[in-house]
Structures are given as C-alpha cells and as structure tokens.
Amino acid sequence: MELAEIGLVGLGVMGSNLALNIAEHGHRIAVWNRELPRLPEFIRDAGDLAQHIIPTETIEQLIAAIKPPRAVILMIPAGAAVDEQIGILKPLLGEGGLIIDAGNSDFRDTVRRVKELEGSGVTLVGMGVSGGEEGARHGPSMMAGGERSAFARIERIIMDIAARTKDGEPCAAWLGPDGAGHFVKTIHNGIEYADMQMIAEIYGAFRDGAGLKPAETAEIFKDWNTRELDSYLIEITARVLSAVDKETEKPIVDIILDRAGQKGTGLWSAVEAERLGRPASVIEAAVGARVLSSLKDEREAAEKAYGLGKPEAGAFTKNDAQLLEHALLAGKVVAYAQGFAVLAMASRMFDWNLPLPTVARIWRAGCIIRSQFLGTIAAAFEGPKVDNLLMTPAFIDIMKRSHGALREVVARAAQAGLPMPALSSALAYFDSYRQGRGTTDLIQAQRDFFGAHGFERIDQPGAHHGIWGISEMPATPTPGEKA
C-alpha cells in the first residue's frame, strides 16, 4: 500500500473537511478518530476522494501508514486533549516527527509545548486555521508558527489547500517561531468579534431606531457590500437578514434568541492586549456584549424595571443609510488598528518579527474577516513604519471623512437609548488617541497623593512628588463637628 504524505487526528467537522480538502488536491492522507464509528461514515461520505485517504483504527496504524519523517495534523479541541495527544504521538513518530496543532490553542500553550518538545526529535507547528466549515473544505486562511524548517516540510500541502485571493495568492504563511501563528489567529478572532458586534449595532439602529424590517435592512447591507465595506461579514449579513423561517414564514433573524455564544478566543485577545499595554477596547466591548447577552432573564427584568429608551422618536431613518455606512467604516478602521497594534507589540515583546503586511494579505480570502479593506491595510504596512494604522495616510483619509458620522451615530443612539458598546468604544479610543494632552495628569496626581507613586513633569526630567501637605488639604471635621 502506498504510504500517506501526512496524517490527521480528529474527524469532527473541521478535521473531516480539512482531510477532504487535502485529498482533493491529490495528497494521500491517513486519518484516525478516537470514536471508531466515525471512520466508515467519513469514508462513505468522501466518495471518489476516498482513494486518497487511508482510514486507520488505531494510532499505531496511523503512524505506520505515513511516510517517514512523519507529519500529523491535530484537529481536536484545544487544551488538555492536545497535551494528551502530543504525549501519545511523541514516542511513536520517531526522529524528525512533526505535529501540527491546527486547533484554536492558546498561544501560551503552544510556546510551552514547543519548549517541552526540544531535544525529543519531534517538532511542533502551531497553526491557526480560519474560515469555518466551508473554509476547511474549500480553502482556509492558515497562520503557522514554529521552526521555519518544520513548516517548510508541509508547505506544499498547506499552499495547495489554502484559500486564494482574486489574483491567485495563497492565503497561508509561516509567520514566526513558536506561538506566533496561534497568536495571530487569536487576534484575528478578536477583530472578528468586534466586526460582528459593530454590524449588529448598526442593524439595531435600523431595526429599533428606524423601524426597518429585516428585508429592507438586507438591501442596504447588500448595497454596502459593493463599496468600501465589501467583506464576507457584510455579505452574509445581507443574506441572513433576507432569510425566511420555513416554519413560521417570519424573517429568521426575528425568531432567533438574542443570546450569543463564544469559545474564548475573543476574551484571550482582549486579555493579551491589556498584558501588552496596547488597548483593544472595541474587542473588549464586543466580548462584554456577548457576555451581557447571555443574561437574558436579567435583561428582561431590567426592561420591566426601567423601560426602554425612546427609539420611537425616530433616532434614525432609512435615509440615514449613508451616515450609518460611514460610521461602521470608521468603527471598523479603529478595531483593525487596535488589533494590528497588538500584533506589532507582541512581535517586539516575543521577538517574532511578525510580517504585518503578510498577515493582512493572508486574511484577504478564506477567513471570516476577509475583505477588500485588508488590501489597504497590507499596503499601509508596506510604507514607512508606524505603530498604529490610524497614522498611515490611507487611514488618516478614511477617518477624516468618516469619524464625524461615527460621532453623530453614537450621539443619536445614546439619546435614544440604543446600546452601541463597540462603536462607542471605537469613538472614545479615536478621540483619546488624537488628544495630545489628556486628563491622566490628574490621575497621576491622585496616585502620588494616596500612594506616593510619583509622576513626571513636563518641564523637568526624572521622577517627582507633589507636596500634599496638611495645610493644603481641606479641613476634615472631627466626629460630631459640622463641616
């Protein structure tokens, strides 16, 4: 029997589709799944592609079916399951063995696992895979980290199965050592959270502020998808809002419970941003909004206690479509600027040397946040080095012509009681970022007052303290004495 070029563990939705993608491109692949009944079902569904697939019933059979030096992809849940599987594979793979963790692992776990495998003869590549079920089957965006030479061994397969842009460029790349690939995927997911939340807030402006039906709003999103907001998320938003439930014949969005789920990567991205000292407030707002959405009973009780705002006063109308379009564009710029600023800081902190133009390019197809907008980002990072996209000529131009719309939309929404946590955060970040002298001078004085933390002066170098003497403090009345 001809041996496989690569193996795969885990035939869930993503694993099955990735295996079929590999087989479809003519690469022989051996597969194994912990639950054996899944194997014959998978082979049956594979149809003609089964000729390129070797099903195996034990992990030992899987290893024996792969050409040495052996490479195995893990498509299993992140966390303890990955550690367990690495422990099983390590003694079986032999010298030169390669494990590709293609799940949504925490990059810190990937860094740890790379170190733990040093000197064992087995190498780990941590690879983020974006695009969901469809992407895995027909072309995902893939972000790899680990030893460059290790990625080179599987590069031909990865490039063959990757999504491609309109100009034929594969949306996959090696991005740096150890956890670089999984970190980039984490920030990708954080930006995805932010993008989705802002779109939902704009939908709320149409639904609750203008009284539009889903089908009417769908036509507006469809129109937006022909201009600067052209993206996968805008495209599917139009499709979702157009869909009708077969059972009730109502717009399907109207019968869906308003309680969002999450798998943790959005939270990770917000936490890592704070650790790195690069705020990602739009992502944080999006994560918070999902958490708040889960408190359905509490929200319903609060509505009874406080009532709703006054959107019926006409906060928005259908004629505000262009205003809302520009507001969403401005919010999107800020969210991506925050995400890429986090990537830039992580690159310096972890010595990854992340190629930011490449990151933007490989997100242009296959992944959930794919959009024409990313081409502009790639070009911006190929110019003079900057710390923040907001300081590049292309994005200065966009923000100058769109931040006014964001300001008006957020203000109107606040007056009407329409929640816009992500768009409000985007506006606050933008205004804070462009304020040369902020208000933290007062905070520094307060910190020095109660904790002697010191502060810097604008006219002298070094650390300084204020003279917060008793004579300069307001008198504190003794008990029983009038102030």
The angle subtended at Cα 324 by Cα 186 and Cα 287, nearest 5°, is: 25
How many CB atoms are closer than 10 A to CB 105?
26
Q: How far is CA 141 from CA 101, 167, 364, 374, in A?
A: 15, 15, 8, 13
Phi, psi at 369, each rounded to 5°: -95, 20
Bridge partners of residue 378, in order along the sequence: none
**Active-site residue (options: 192, 228, 272, 284):** 192
Q: Running DSSP on this structure, what letter comes out for residue 208?
A: I
Round to whole Å and give the CA distance between 335 and 388: 11
* Whole-number Å distance between alpha carbons of 393 and 381: 11
**Secondary structure letter of residue 207 according to DSSP:** I
The C-alpha atoms of residue 60 and residue 57 are separated, in whole angstroms, by 8
Strands across the sheet with 53-55, in order?
A: 53-55, 29-32, 6-9, 71-74, 97-101, 122-130, 141-145, 172-176
CA nearest neighbour of 86 among 67, 52, 112: 112
Print burial letters for 3-18: b (CB count within 10 Å at least 16), e (below 16): ebbbbbbbbbebbbbb
Which of 5, 185, 284, 332 is catalytic? The answer is 185
End-to-end Cα, the chain, rounded Å: 93
3-state secondary structure at position 174? strand
185 is catalytic: yes
Catalytic annotation on 213?
no
**Max CA distance (Å), the chain:** 96
- Please check whether residue 363 is in contact with residue 340, taking contact to mean a CB–CB distance below 8 angstroms: no
* Alpha-carbon span 103 to 439, nearest angstrom: 43
- Following DSSP, what letter does each residue of 356-398 receive, concatenated? HHHHHHHTSSSSTT-BTHHHHHHHHHTSS--S-GGGSHHHHHH
Which positions are annotated as active-site residues?
185, 192
